[in-house]
């Protein structure tokens, strides 16, 4: 037996307890311990049955992250599962905390399963572009049926033990002491032959069941290889004998594991965890935040308030205009109510959140807040005026944050006598839903202020990425490059719908022109200073400002469905004539190269300038804030997979000289 186990035998019942903190990850030593435990029980005449349990806060919570991407080490998980299932003496799994991925595969290989009611069981492999590979797609349909198995495996969300018991995945819920209940079951079945999951029959279902499941989830599955592979493997459980189905599962699993999507998703998994790490603030304690102030009750301000309230923090919401304040409060109320109706939030939690919202019309009411987030109109004059006031009324030691998409955080901080307390918090709309939070570090931002921003981001459920202070920070600076190239191509002869379609086929939910129309083409534009020197300005001057006017690069009907616009096309063609540009046709490959690779070049420059800490941070920004297709791993990862030398070659073919920063990658 290994150092991760303990072994006890009492009155014929052996208890093998695995202790591999913090989450009993299924490392090589754990796998060996399980195989050894089965062998020990089999050869000990005093042992009549065996309980497998875990110490600490959870049952096996999944694979060992340290083994990700490395060659497999024996015994493989398939060997462990087969060894447990083949045991000549009954084996009982005692489940608490979580049984996820390989942890659930181990539990299903046991002959009986007992769980505490609060335990969660699931197979999240699909979220790494994988599927279970150790009999999971063969065992689960035999226990719960095809339809439930498809939901659990292909959607990847865990189920509570109470639901698992109802569907047959768990044999008994522990009313009291889990280990005592498991031992009682082990004693009761000690003289019975093992009840092996593989011997159950997975009932066939009509082909329509698989087709309907795929159709219902088409939007979630779009672009991913794993869901169709999972469906095929689950189907094999109903059509093939167990051994053949297991071989089919393994064949499909290995193909996914060696595929590009799994590599990309592993990258994404670790990139999000790395993004929250800032070496220079290791060990720095964040400031205490017990009360948050939000300035501005518009779309962004109310969204930020909802995100903070959902995390259990009280919010003081300030707006100068009473009607605007009322609209913001109504928006917050309706969103919380919608969450309750949809089952995303308990009624008690929604009521508590609303009770901790304090709408105010005087900025002085924010005085005792520990963190104030300004979400006012995106102009330097407005934000500087607000921060001048905040400096006078907010208590010393409070963190002052500006939610800005492009503006100079240092110039805003300079309006205070405490620039060390100022940080940028760039939320993405809708702020209560979008995961990304760009944390912008000014030149004077104190280490504990940065630590506080990261701690708050975690508390409100955001994926934080730290950026240096530069125009557009990480995401919008790269977005500006893509927009420049997209607009240049339509002037040169491509149509907006052609450009959008290329990017949407690549995997984005929306192309640049549909996105521009949705956001509003007049963001940052005003008639007073318009020069008509860009196609976007020409459209705004013509009253085509996007969906808000039902006309932009596209025309829109009442349902806001975009239609190609001959008026927009004429405006673009006229602009091309005015600027002396000869129009031509474009191929899809040329459009895609011109949309993606100049962005990547800009990302390399952000890295070289120190605005981004690491290339994976850039990927995290684009994956969580801009809809970059997750199965490609993000712009910088996608470029590395393509080959940086090849990216440089394609840029040169477009007539664009790659930067030294890109070549240095």
Could you tell me where the DSSP H helices lie in 342-473? 347-355, 380-393, 409-413, 447-459
Phi, psi of 627 (to 5 degrees): 80, 15
Q: Which residue out of 3, 79, 85, 105 is catalytically annotated?
A: 105
Length of the chain: 665
Alpha-helical segments (H) within 404-526: 409-413, 447-459, 475-492, 496-506, 512-519
- Cα distances from 130 to residues 262, 607, 611, in angstroms, run 6, 31, 34
Cα(139)–Cα(108) distance, integer angstroms: 7
Is the separation of the CB atoms in 478 and 625 below 8 Å?
A: no
Phi, psi of 371, deg, nearest 5: -140, 130
- Identify the residue whose tokens are 């060696």: 258
Give the whole-angstrom CA distance, residue 153 versus residue 151.
Answer: 6
Considering Cα of 459, then 462, then 467, then 471, what sign does the dihedral take?
negative
Write the burial class of residue 494 (CB in 10 Å: 0-12 exposed, 13-18 middle, 19+ buried): buried
- DSSP string of 154-210? HH---EEHHHHHHHTS-SEE-SS-HHHHHHHHHHHTTTSPP--GGGS------HHHH
Structure tokens at 389: 């006031």
- In angstroms, the CA 321 to CA 71 distance is 62
Place of tokens 């159709």: 215
Q: How far apart are CA 263 and CA 438, in angstroms?
A: 25
Active-site residue (options: 3, 67, 85, 125): 125
Residue 131: how many other CB atoms lie within 10 Å? 27
- Token pair of 574 as six digits: 């006229």
Integer angstrom CA distances of residue 162 from 119, 175, 258, 350: 8, 12, 36, 24
User: Exposed, middle or buried by CB within 10 Å (0-12, 13-18, 19+), for 549?
Assistant: middle
The residue among 479, 492, 454, 453 whose CA lies nearest residue 576 is: 492
Q: Name every residue whose Cβ is closer than 8 Å to that of residue 354 and which is 6 or more positions away in sequence.
A: 309, 332, 333, 336
Q: Which two tokens stand for residue 335?
A: 């969103």
- 327-340 burial code (b ≥16 CB/10 A, e <16): bbbebbbebbeebb
Judged by DSSP in three states, 298 sits in coil
User: Which 8-state DSSP code applies to residue 612?
Assistant: B
Q: Residue 272 corresponds to which tokens in the numbers above?
A: 């999000």
- What residues contact 156, with CB distance under 8 A and at least 6 apart? 122, 123, 124, 125, 126, 127
Nearest to 515 by CA among 492, 496, 541, 539: 496
125 counts as catalytic: yes
| Catalytic positions, written as ranges | 105, 125
């Amino acid at each position: 037996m290994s150092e991760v186990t303990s072994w006890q035998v009492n009155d014929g019942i052996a208890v093998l307890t695995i202790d591999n903190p913090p989450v009993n990850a299924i490392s090589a030593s754990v796998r060996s311990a399980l195989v050894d435990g089965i062998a020990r029980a089999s050869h000990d005449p005093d042992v009549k049955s065996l309980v497998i349990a875990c110490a600490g806060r959870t049952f096996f919570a999944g694979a060992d992250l340290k083994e990700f991407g490395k060659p497999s080490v024996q015994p493989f998980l398939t060997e462990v599962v087969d060894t447990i299932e083949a045991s000549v003496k009954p084996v009982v799994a005692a489940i608490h905390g979580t049984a996820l991925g390989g942890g659930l595969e181990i539990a299903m290989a046991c002959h009986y399963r007992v769980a505490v009611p609060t335990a969660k069981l699931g197979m999240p492999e699909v979220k790494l572009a994988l599927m279970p590979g150790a009999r999971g797609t063969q065992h689960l349909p035999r226990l719960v049926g095809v339809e439930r198995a498809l939901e659990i495996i292909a959607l990847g969300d865990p189920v509570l033990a109470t639901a698992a018991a109802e569907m047959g995945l768990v044999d008994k819920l522990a009313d009291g002491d889990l280990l005592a209940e498991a031992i009682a079951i082990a004693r009761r079945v000690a003289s019975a032959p093992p009840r092996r999951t593989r011997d159950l029959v997975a009932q066939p279902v009509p082909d329509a069941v698989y087709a309907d499941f795929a159709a219902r989830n088409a939007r979630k599955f779009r672009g991913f290889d794993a869901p169709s592979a999972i469906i095929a493997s689950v189907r094999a459980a109903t059509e093939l004998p167990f051994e053949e189905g297991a071989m089919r599962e393994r064949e499909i699993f290995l193909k996914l594991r060696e595929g590009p999507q799994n590599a990309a998703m592993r990258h994404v998994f670790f990139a999000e965890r790395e993004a929250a790490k800032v070496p220079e603030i290791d060990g720095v304690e964040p400031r205490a935040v017990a009360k948050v102030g939000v300035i501005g009750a518009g779309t962004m301000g109310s969204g930020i308030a909802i995100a903070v309230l959902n995390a259990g923090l009280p919010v003081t919401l300030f707006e100068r205009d009473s009607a605007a304040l009322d609209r913001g409060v109504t928006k917050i109320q309706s969103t919380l109510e919608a969450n309750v109706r949809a089952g995303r939030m308990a009624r008690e939690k929604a009521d508590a959140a609303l009770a901790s919202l304090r709408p105010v019309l005087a900025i002085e009411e924010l005085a005792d807040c520990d963190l104030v987030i300004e979400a006012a109109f995106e102009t330097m004059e407005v934000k500087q005026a607000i921060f001048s006031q905040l400096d006078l009324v907010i208590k010393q030691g409070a963190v002052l944050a500006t939610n800005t998409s492009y503006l100079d955080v240092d110039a805003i901080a300079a309006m205070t006598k405490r620039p060390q307390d100022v940080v940028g918090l760039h939320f993405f709309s809708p702020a209560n839903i979008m995961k990304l939070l760009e944390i912008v570090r000014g030149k004077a931002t104190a280490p504990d202020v940065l630590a506080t921003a990261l701690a708050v981001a975690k508390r409100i459920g955001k994926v934080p990425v730290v950026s240096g202070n530069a125009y557009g920070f990480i995401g919008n600076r790269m977005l500006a490059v893509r927009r420049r190239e997209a607009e240049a191509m339509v002037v040169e002869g491509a149509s907006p719908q052609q450009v959008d379609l290329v990017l949407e086929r690549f995997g984005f939910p929306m192309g640049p022109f549909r996105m521009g129309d949705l956001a509003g083409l007049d963001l940052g534009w005003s008639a007073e200073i318009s020069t008509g020197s860009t196609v976007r300005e020409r459209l705004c001057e013509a009253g085509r400002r996007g969906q808000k006017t039902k006309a932009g690069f596209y025309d829109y009907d009442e349902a806001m469905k975009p239609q190609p616009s001959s008026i927009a096309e004429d405006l673009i063609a006229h602009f091309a004539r005015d600027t002396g540009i000869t129009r031509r046709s474009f191929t899809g490959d040329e459009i895609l190269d011109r949309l993606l690779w100049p962005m990547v070049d800009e990302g390399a420059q952000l890295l070289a300038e120190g605005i981004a800490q690491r290339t994976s941070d850039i990927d995290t920004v684009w994956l969580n804030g801009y809809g970059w297709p997750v199965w490609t791993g993000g712009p910088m990862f996608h470029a590395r997979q393509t080959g940086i030398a090849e990216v440089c070659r394609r840029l040169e073919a477009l007539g664009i000289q790659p930067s030294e920063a890109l070549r240095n990658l």
